[in-house]
């Protein structure tokens, strides 16, 4: 599954990594508005796939949903390849790109929630670490995409990226067909409940709002960094690709690093720290001027660190907080992440047309990160409660109400201690009262 995350990361960033190709007059020649609009079909289909994936899995199985998602991503790469020979014919090439991003979004929406569900189900004892590791490899794929573009542009055929992505997807499909990929136990039950349209708790909207804001912050860096580098900071195409690779590289390193340091730096603390880093990165990026390309690379790397663990931790926190509908939670989080992605991908072009420059837009996004910080304080507080409550449950007075329900279990070592202090005659009156207390016997039968 981790390899699938790596491949999905490469595929996901194929279009943003080629942003300079799409907007270059000698290539596709798209305007900034057309470039932003190109991602609208991706957002819509990704949201639809994320929201319907759990119910679809209940009908046809999780593995088939996963394979369907990979197939749609493969179709997207095929359409991108087909558009390359007709890139100068906008009436033909642009519709192909729109259909390609629609398939890409559907593939992402179906595949990524399933991968996160697999990570949680296969590693129940270390959900946070498993989800972080999966998303770290997905992030590694996003790092490789701009590197591949830079290499293939230097070789004279940028379309080598979708060709490599398509080949990787074919191999992944062939290997996945041979694997069982079954989700058992509680994860399967959660998926089944998702198929029955469970009601998500009201607190889900706290997670949804936060991850929507995060989607805006990530996409500002992931989709617009290269254009900001070349058009505002005077960077070369290679420097622009390096900035995008630095962003996704730090996303990946941050996920790996925070997963490794979870004993010293708890996930809730990381969750509160990352939005602060994002606020600083947006303000610093907005303050840069012409001929500061090297500093721009550093700022996008800082933004990558700020983004690193937000998405996987939101998914794992939400699944642990709302276990009865964990599969639906993963899909819902991905859906609202795509809402934020769509807002940032589409609105930057109109904002520029209205007179704002990228410097002002990046600086203004710091306010989005600040609101995300406020929401992160609430979410991390909820995530910290189970860990804090696990101690009292074991031996504090809060555990006392549970003791009578377990008192008549025959194998309890503490039962003689309760029976010995009374003198034999005192222990008998306790039994005649048992028939008048129906609740304990019912609980004992259920537990057995």
> How large a percentage of the chain has pLDDT more than 70?
77
Report how far residue 247's alpha carbon sits from residue 182's, in angstroms, rounded to the nearest whole number. 34
392 is a domain residue: no
Q: Which of 90, 19, 35, 98 is nearest to 345 (CA)?
A: 35
H-run or E-run covering 262: none
DSSP state of 266: -
- Give the mean pLDDT of 182-209: 63
Report how far residue 370's alpha carbon sits from residue 360's, in angstroms, rounded to the nearest whole number. 16
pLDDT confidence bin for 203, thresholds 50/70/90: confident
CATH number of the domain that residue 106 is part of: 1.20.1250.20
pLDDT at 414 over 50: no
Report how far residue 299's alpha carbon sits from residue 305's, in angstroms, rounded to the nearest whole number. 10
pLDDT confidence bin for 180, thresholds 50/70/90: confident
206 is a domain residue: yes
- pLDDT tens per residue across span 66-114: 899 999 999 999 999 999 999 989 899 999 999 999 999 999 888 887 8
pLDDT at 41 over 80: yes
Which of 62-66, 135-139, 239-243, 393-397 bottoms out in mean pLDDT, i.e. has the lowest?
Answer: 393-397
412 is a domain residue: no
CA 224, distance to chain mean position in Å, is 20
pLDDT at 218 over 90: yes
Ramachandran region, residue 423 (left: φ > 0; alpha: ψ -120 to 50; beta: rest): beta
168 is a domain residue: yes
State the DSSP string of 135-192: HHHHHHHHHHHHHHHHHHHHHT-TTHHHHHHHHHHHHHHHHHHTS-----HHHHHHHH
End-to-end CA distance of the chain: 36
* pLDDT at residue 384, rounded to an integer: 59
* pLDDT at residue 1, rounded to an integer: 64
145 is a domain residue: yes
* pLDDT at residue 126, rounded to an integer: 65
CA 238, 7, 223, 289 torsion-angle sign: negative
Alpha carbon separation from 324 to 179, 200, 328 (Å, rounded):
27, 9, 9
Report how far residue 438's alpha carbon sits from residue 391's, in angstroms, rounded to the nearest whole number. 30
Q: Is 157 exposed, middle or buried (0-12, 13-18, 19+ CB in 10 A)?
A: exposed
**For the chain, what is the domain count?**
1
326 is a domain residue: yes
- Retrieve residue 104's tokens: 């890409």
pLDDT at 439 over 80: no
DSSP state of 86: G
Q: Which of 18, 8, 10, 53 is nearest to 39 (CA)?
A: 18
pLDDT confidence bin for 326, thresholds 50/70/90: low
* pLDDT at residue 322, rounded to an integer: 81
Q: Which domain holds residue 283?
A: 2-387
Model confidence, pTM? 0.67
pLDDT at 186 over 60: no
Task: Give me Rg for the CA atoms of the chain.
Answer: 26
DSSP state of 448: -
The more confident residue out of 221 and 329 is: 221
Q: Which of 199, 194, 258, 222 is nearest to 18 (CA)?
A: 222
Helix (H, G, I), strand (E, B) or coil at 434: helix
pLDDT at 328 over 90: no
Alpha carbon separation from 148 to 14, 155, 171, 228, 292 (Å, rounded):
9, 10, 18, 20, 24
Which of 1-10, 212-221, 304-313 bottoms out in mean pLDDT, i.e. has the lowest?
Answer: 1-10
- Give the mean pLDDT of 46-61: 83
Query: What are the backbone dihedrals phi and psi of residue 32, each rounded to the nearest 5 degrees, phi first?
Result: -60, -40
433 is a domain residue: no
DSSP state of 234: -
Report how far residue 30's alpha carbon sits from residue 336's, in angstroms, rounded to the nearest whole number. 27
Q: Which of 280, 254, 281, 249 is nearest to 265 (CA)?
A: 254
435 is a domain residue: no
Report how far residue 202's alpha carbon sits from residue 28's, in angstroms, rounded to the nearest whole number. 45
């Amino acid at each position: 599954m981790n390899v699938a995350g790596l491949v999905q990361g490469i595929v996901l960033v194929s279009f943003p990594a080629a942003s300079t190709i799409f907007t270059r007059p000698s290539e596709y020649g798209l305007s900034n508005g057309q470039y932003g609009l190109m991602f609208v079909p991706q957002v819509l289909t990704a949201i639809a796939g994320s929201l319907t994936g759990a119910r679809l899995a209940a009908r046809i199985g999780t593995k088939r949903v996963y394979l369907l998602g990979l197939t749609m991503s493969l179709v997207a790469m095929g359409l991108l390849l087909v558009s390359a020979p007709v890139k100068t014919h906008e009436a033909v090439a642009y519709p192909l790109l729109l259909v390609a991003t629609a398939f890409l979004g559907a593939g992402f929406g179906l595949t990524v929630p399933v991968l996160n569900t697999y990570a949680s189900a296969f590693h129940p004892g270390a959900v946070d670490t498993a989800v972080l590791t999966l998303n770290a490899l997905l992030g590694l794929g996003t790092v490789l995409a701009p590197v591949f573009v830079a290499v293939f542009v230097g070789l004279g055929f940028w379309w080598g990226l979708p060709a490599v992505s398509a080949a990787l997807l074919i191999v992944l499909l062939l290997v996945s067909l041979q694997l069982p990929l079954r989700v058992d136990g509680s994860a399967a039950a959660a998926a089944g409940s998702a198929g029955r349209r469970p009601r998500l708790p009201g607190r889900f909207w706290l997670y949804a709002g936060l991850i929507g804001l995060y989607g805006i912050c990530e996409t500002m860096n992931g989709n617009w960094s290269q254009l900001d580098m070349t058009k505002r900071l005077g960077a070369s195409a290679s420097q622009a690709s390096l900035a995008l690779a630095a962003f996704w590289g730090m996303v990946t390193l941050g996920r790996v690093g925070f997963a490794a340091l979870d004993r010293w730096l708890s996930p809730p603390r990381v969750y509160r720290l990352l939005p602060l880093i994002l606020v600083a990165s947006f303000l610093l990026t907005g303050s840069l001027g012409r001929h500061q390309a090297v500093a721009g690379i550093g700022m996008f790397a800082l933004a990558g660190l700020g983004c690193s663990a937000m998405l996987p931790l939101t998914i794992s926190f939400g699944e642990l907080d709302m276990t009865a509908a964990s599969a639906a939670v993963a899909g819902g989080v991905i859906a609202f992440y795509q809402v934020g992605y769509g807002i940032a991908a589409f609105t930057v072009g109109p904002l520029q047309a209205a007179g704002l420059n990228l410097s002002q837009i990046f600086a203004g996004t710091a306010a989005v990160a600040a609101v995300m910080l406020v929401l992160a304080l609430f979410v991390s507080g909820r995530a910290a409660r189970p860990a804090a409550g696990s101690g009292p449950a074991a031996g504090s007075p809060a555990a006392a109400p549970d003791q009578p329900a377990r008192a008549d279990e025959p194998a309890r070592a503490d039962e003689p201690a309760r029976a010995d202090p009374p003198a034999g005659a005192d222990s008998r009156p306790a039994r005649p009262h048992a028939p008048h207390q129906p609740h304990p016997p019912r609980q004992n039968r259920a537990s057995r």
